[in-house]
Amino acid sequence: MNIAFIAHDNKKNDLVQFTTAYKELFKGHTLFSTGTTGIKIMEATGLSIHRFQSGPLGGDQQIGALIAENKMDLVLFFKDPLTAQPHEPDISALIRLCDVYNIPLATNMATAEILLKGLNRGDLQWREIVRGESETDDE
């Protein structure tokens, strides 16, 4: 599965702690992130992450492009609901794309944990079918 990590400044440490707790689960997946968030996660966990620009410089939009191309399976976006973000239109566009393309999206740690439990159980296997990667039965 392709998994994206994004976090506002006040939530980066929460996401780092979260990825550290689930490091073993994340090892089996292809990981993407916006700039600074990716560096912090890699330093804390040793996970290999493809990094895009920082969010305000277009990283949200780069991840959004993968969503629009049906190349992203899960987005963990730890938002800070108490701080105004200068690139709010980009954030809204990313969330809208997740809704349009039925991409599971967690905007807080509680939802992220539930999605990861489902990922671990195989509940997100349907994403492989949507991407056309599942094996089909010969008829």
Tell me which residues are annotated as active site. 60
- Quick one: DSSP state of residue 128? H
* CB 34 within 8 Å of CB 63: yes
**Helices (H), ranges, the chain:** 12-21, 23-26, 35-45, 59-68, 88-100, 109-121, 126-130
In the chain the first and final C-alpha atoms are separated, in Å, by: 27
H and E: helices and strands count for the chain: 7, 5
Kind of pairing between the strands at 30-33 and 2-7:
parallel
